[in-house]
Amino acid sequence: MIAILRKNASDEAVSSIVSWIEGKGLTAHVSRGSNETVIGLVGDTTKIDPFLLESMDVVQRVQRVSEPFKKANRKFHPADTVIDFGGGIKIGGGAFQVIAGPCSVEGDNLIKIARRCKAAGATMLRGGAYKPRTSPYAYQGMGERGLDLLLEAKAETGMPIVTEVMDVRDVELFVDRGIDVMQIGARNAQNFNLLKEVGKTSTPILLKRGIAGTIDELLMAAEYIMSEGNDNVMLCERGIRTFETRTRNTFDLNAVPALHYLPPLPVVADPSHATGYTRYVEPMALAACAAGADALEIEVHDNPAEAWSDGAQALTPDQFDRTMERIRAIRSVVADMAREEA
């Protein structure tokens, strides 16, 4: 349930309503926009008489929210979430970034890849230090040494780091090391203990859609994180498993506008995992841009044939250069359209 207040609602009146709601055993989340103030009621709303609430002087109307996700819901938080990484790098609310780098951190080649990615226009560096693999015999990542290499690359390039956390026990390590974005991979999209643990931090979270997860399941995963206090969540469409086998996954491009419509959170698209093949990455990256993605996550490797994981979907630095030129062209059109609509 949400209560939409009148434009002239004073701070004192808002505080009074919040106290009344909390007195009923519910939690009140206040969201102030440029045109209206919205109070979201979280808990057993059967304790609240909506007609009584709507009869209060400063309440314009009361609206029931049928979706189970409350915090990850634009009805509660109408304004776009914008995540600021410092140095002018923001995602959301019209700010667009490209996150690029290898699937796995492998060693000294990371810094060479990072330099090329930055030169091409990427602003954030991805790389897996801890790798969830289908086979227990496959490469599992460099672990803490991989974090060291990522941070060394950040120190030289200034690019914020995006890397996956897999274990509740490692969250504190990631926070202590100053990792800029903790990624929750598709295999952990419903690891609720991990979701709650990262929710207790203030570190931005890149939450990937589950391997066969629905949009609502993705939003409920975000709800787990946000319910613990961390609202810095980005939602990532990375393809889902369907009956189709010609590509690694099926890239649900519908999810990009749908995720903009339902929650206020930034939407990231990962065309590398979505397609699984280098030749499809660029066209789907451009399609995601045209659909309104706030960021792209693209895998780049200096020698994909020798990559320790997922070389088949990695762009070479030269290929990435060309892709970035085309991304900029699409983004220019999208930005022009946004200005016309404003």
pLDDT tens for each residue of 191-207: 999 999 999 999 999 99
d(CA 101, CA 109): 11
pLDDT band at 254 (very low <50, low <70, confident <90, very high): very high
Sole residue written with tokens 């699937």: 103
Query: How much is the pLDDT for 187?
Result: 95
Query: How much is the pLDDT for 77?
Result: 85
| Average pLDDT rounded to a whole number, residues 126-143 | 86
The reply to whether 2-63 and 83-341 are identical in fold is no
pLDDT band at 33 (very low <50, low <70, confident <90, very high): confident
pLDDT band at 278 (very low <50, low <70, confident <90, very high): very high
In the predicted model, is pLDDT for residue 137 greater than 90? no
Query: How much is the pLDDT for 207?
Result: 98
Query: How much is the pLDDT for 75?
Result: 82
Sole residue written with tokens 């859609």: 209
In the predicted model, is pLDDT for residue 237 greater than 80? yes
Query: How much is the pLDDT for 300?
Result: 98
d(CA 256, CA 175): 29
Span of 28-32, 63-67, 124-128, 187-191 with lowest mean pLDDT: 63-67
In the predicted model, is pLDDT for residue 298 greater than 80? yes
Among 43-47, 48-52, 109-113, top mean pLDDT goes to 109-113
Q: Could you tell me the two tokens for 21?
A: 């709601």
In the predicted model, is pLDDT for residue 48 greater than 90? no
What tens digit of pLDDT does each residue of 77-100 get? 889 999 999 999 999 999 999 999
b/e code 300-329 from CB counts within 10 Å (16+ = b): bbbebeebbbbbbbbbbbebbbebbeebee
b/e code 56-82 from CB counts within 10 Å (16+ = b): bebbeebeebeeebbbbbbbbbeebbe
In the predicted model, is pLDDT for residue 42 greater than 90? no
Q: Check if CATH label 1.20.1370.20 holds for domain 2-63.
A: no
In the predicted model, is pLDDT for residue 102 greater than 90? yes
To the nearest 10 degrees (0 to 180), the angle between helices 215-227 and 192-199 is 50
Residue 198: what residue type?
Answer: V
Query: How much is the pLDDT for 233?
Result: 98
Q: How far is CA 258 from CA 179, 251, 304, in A?
A: 29, 14, 33
d(CA 239, CA 222): 17
pTM of the model as a whole? 0.83
pLDDT band at 291 (very low <50, low <70, confident <90, very high): very high
What tens digit of pLDDT does each residue of 173-182 get? 999 999 999 9
Beta-strand runs (E) in 33-101: 37-42, 59-63, 83-84, 90-91, 97-101
Query: How much is the pLDDT for 268?
Result: 98
Q: Could you tell me the two tokens for 174?
A: 């990631």
Q: Hey, where are the domains in the chain?
A: 2-63, 83-341
What tens digit of pLDDT does each residue of 150-175 get? 999 999 999 999 999 999 999 999 99
pLDDT band at 64 (very low <50, low <70, confident <90, very high): confident
pLDDT band at 43 (very low <50, low <70, confident <90, very high): confident
Q: Check if CATH label 3.20.20.70 holds for domain 83-341.
A: yes
